[in-house]
Structure 1
Amino acid sequence: MKKLYLKDIAKNLNVSTTAVSLVLNNKGDENKISQDTQQKILEYAKRHNYVANSLARGLSRGKSETIGLIIPNISDDHYAKIAGHIERKAKEYGYVVMYASSNKDPKNEAKLIQSMINRQVDGLILASTQHNSEDIELLKDNKLPFVLIDRLYPEIDTNYVVVDNFEGVQKATKHLLNLGRRKIGFVTLKPGLEAMRQRLLGYQEALKEFNIDPSDALVKELSNVDYKDEIKEALGELVRFPNSVDSIIFSTHYLTSLGLRELRRLNIKVPHEVAIVSFDELGAFDLVDPPITSIKQPGADIGDFSVDILMDEIQGNESGINKTRMLKPSLIIRKSCGAL
């Protein structure tokens, strides 16, 4: 079916394009367009399934009514949930969301940022790789409203919405310690993301509060690229008799998923031999046997606050002070953390 434009309606009804535009934008009365003309335009548009070009309409007002969202991977359960909440909240403001996945590649992320600028989005929400400080500075220089989520650049003042990663892991570690667990392993990714650094610090601080010296041997840092292969060796070392751990905290939900599979292969019983805690969770964590104790991130709040902050900037309500939110995760206790 051929797309119908304003000029087509105007030509077929022998009226001006301006009149058509005003009527379809509910401005016919205030511009003294007759009721008969308005009715003809509306009926014709409905009969021919006319769909307004919201982008063009927005640009005519200096806005695209679109925000960009760049995340590491849209298929990741954590980011998919946040994206859904962002889309819902943006819709309340009359905005649509343009998605893109960086696949954790700084070069790809830089291209996507430039692409969003070229597409004239009104603002940007970004879960960065934390290796593109120049591009973040570029966004600031171009005065494009943006909000960082999940990851931030500690050395750059920006709007951001993040979770208190330190407190989340500290709380989980102390829970294990209160259950009598003393040899707690920590499986994480190599330094690079501030979130991972804070999670490791939370684990170490909790041990110190119980007068336990953190042991490097109990911390396994895997590479972002080869973690699927490296986790087998890491867990093999952590559960090797006679120095095996009595519990393991995984710093991401996907490491937990891989870890559970490997522990099952090694015939390690959870929680009788090794208790398990996951930072963040998958939908199946409350369905597996045993259900997995998780540090749950408030995805809805991340989405809502990031959009609210961005819209304040877009609508010119900025105060000159960066708006930040540090959200509290919650510890969802399930059977994978049995007491010794």
Structure 2
Amino acid sequence: MPTIYDVAKAAGVSIATVSRVLNGYPFVAEKTREKVLRAMQELNYSPNLLAAALMKKNTYTVGLLIPDISNPFFAEITRGVEDAANKFGFNIIICNTDNDPEKETKYVNLLLQKSVDGLIFATSEIANQNILMLKERQFPLVLIAREVEGIEVDVVLADNFQGAYEGVKYLISLGHHRIAFLGESLNIKSTRERQAGYEKALQEAGIPVEAELIVTGLKSLEEAYHRMRLFYPKARPTAVFAANDVLAIGAIRALKELGLSIPGDVSVLGFDDTIFASIAEPPLSSVAQPMRQMGKMAMTRLISRIRNKEEKCRRLVLPTKLVIRASTKACS
């Protein structure tokens, strides 16, 4: 049976380097990591990870708490997390919280009972007691896509304010002045940031922010669809900025059923640039987030946190990009 010494010899590296690869340390050159993994495969080497985990009190398992994996945005993030986890020898337990604080608490407790090494968390609330508890316990934790207020923890997210601001500026440049905003709960910080970006773009253009054009608290495509059917005949916007692509698709469906043309009568702009955007009819203009990259960075950051709990917290903000498709046009 091959040993770690055989792997080190075959890869031409030290035993310590093989150990770093096995233990998922991020600071190993990619070529070196590939040599070690190739040597392990050729020798059919299978380390006793369970025994090592018991000795080190590590399980090489992390929890990923997301609102809904059926949302393509979180599916892409999950893929990024999983890709990075596999690379470093970690496994993932995925929990869908449905943005329900009670479900979050249930899953956090369950994952702690399973002795996971850390958590990646897309929280449902700006003020989250689970995050506070984990922080007080110095439990390895990285927030993704969303953050909480008043608690210093590692976070990886896109620039929600700037992305929304630039998206609405684009709609204004097309001549739109009556621009509706569709968003999720204002308890989610990313919704607040995107609404703030929307309002800043309007104010800079001298366009009043009208409460009747703002609809928040939406949880699903179906809710966006039903609210838009009721909302449009009263508000009559010429453009809709949706805080995610799911809400945008719901809005498009409602507008079409009301006999309106997209973008002839109403332009629609989403946020995220998920697979929904490219397959929508018409294809949806959207503010793109680097979803898979965010997942990979969150997992890499979590591994660093697991290795060194005293490390300074970091807030990693990634830029967005406006992707223009056929759902937006100049206001006629």
What TM-score does the superposition give when structure 2 sets the normalisation length?
0.82
Counterpart in 2 of 1:237? 231
Q: Secondary structure at the match of 2:201?
A: helix
Deviation at 1:292, TM superposition (A): 0.8
Specify the SS of the correspondent of 1:189: coil
Alignment RMSD (CA, Å): 2.5
Aligned to 2:258: 266
Confirm or deny: 8 A CA contact 1:296 1:332 kept in the other structure.
Answer: yes
CA distance in structure 1 between the partners assigned to 2:127 and 2:177 by the alignment: 39
Distance in 1 between residues matched to 2:7 and 2:82, nearest whole Å? 33
Partner of 1:313: 305
Q: Distance in 1 between matches of 2:184 and 2:294?
A: 23
Q: Structure 1 residues 217, 29: CA separation in 2 closer, same or farther (over 3 Å shift)?
A: closer
Contact 1:185 1:238 in 2 (8 A): no
Shift of 1:233: 4.0
C-alpha distance in 1 between matches for 2:65 and 2:185: 22
The higher radius of gyration belongs to 1
**Corresponding residue of 2:215:** 220
Separation in 2, partners of 1:303, 1:233: 32
The CA distance in 2 between the partners of 1:233 and 1:130, in whole Å, is: 23
If asked which structure has higher relative contact order (CA below 8 Å, sep 6+), I would say 2
Q: How many percent identity over aligned positions?
A: 27
Structure 2: gaps of 5 or more residues: 9-43
1:139-218 map, 5 Å: 139-218=134-213
Secondary structure (helix, strand or coil) at the match of 1:143 reads coil
Report deviation, 1:80. Answer: 0.9
For residues 266 and 144 of structure 1, the distance between their equivalents in structure 2, rounded to whole angstroms, comes to 51
CA distance in 1, matches of 2:313, 2:119: 15
Structure 1 residue ranges without an equivalent (≥5): 1-22, 31-48
1:290 to 266, 271, 282: 282
Aligned residues: 296
Q: Judging changes above 3 Å, is the alpha-carbon distance between structure 1 residues 50 and 313 closer, same or farther for their aligned structure 2 residues? A: closer
| TM-score for both structures, normalised by structure 1 | 0.80
Matches of 1:187 and 1:252, distance apart in 2: 8
Deviations along 1:22-56, whole A, 9 cap, x unmatched? x56535899xxxxxxxxxxxxxxxxxx99876334
Deviation above 4 Å: which 4+ runs of structure 1? Answer: 27-30, 49-53
Within a 5 Å distance, the mapping from 1:21-32 to structure 2 comes to 23=1, 25-26=3-4
Q: What is the match of residue 268 of structure 2?
A: 276
Q: Distance in 1 between matches of 2:182 and 2:127?
A: 26
Distance of aligned partners of 1:145 and 1:86 in 2 relative to their CA distance in 1, 3 Å threshold: same
Q: How big is the shift at 1:328? A: 1.4
Deviation of the 1:151 alpha carbon: 1.4
- How far the C-alpha of 1:141 sits from its partner, in A, is 2.4
Question: What is the letter of the counterpart of residue 232 of structure 1?
Answer: H
Contact 1:277/1:294 (<8 A) preserved: yes
- 1:328 partner amino acid: P
- Between the aligned partners of 2:283 and 2:324, the Cα distance in structure 1 is 9
1:119/1:233 Cα in 2 relative to 1: closer, same or farther (>3 Å)? closer
Taking a change above 3 Å as real, the CA distance of residues 261 and 221 of structure 1, as seen in their structure-2 partners, is same
Structure 1 match to 2:244: 252
SS at match of 1:151: coil
Mapped partners of 2:78, 2:129: distance in 1:
25
Report Cα offsets for 1:92-149 as digits up to 9, x if no partner: 1111111111122111111211111111111111111126632212212222211011
Higher deviation after alignment, 85-94 or 230-239 = 230-239
Aligned to 1:133: 128
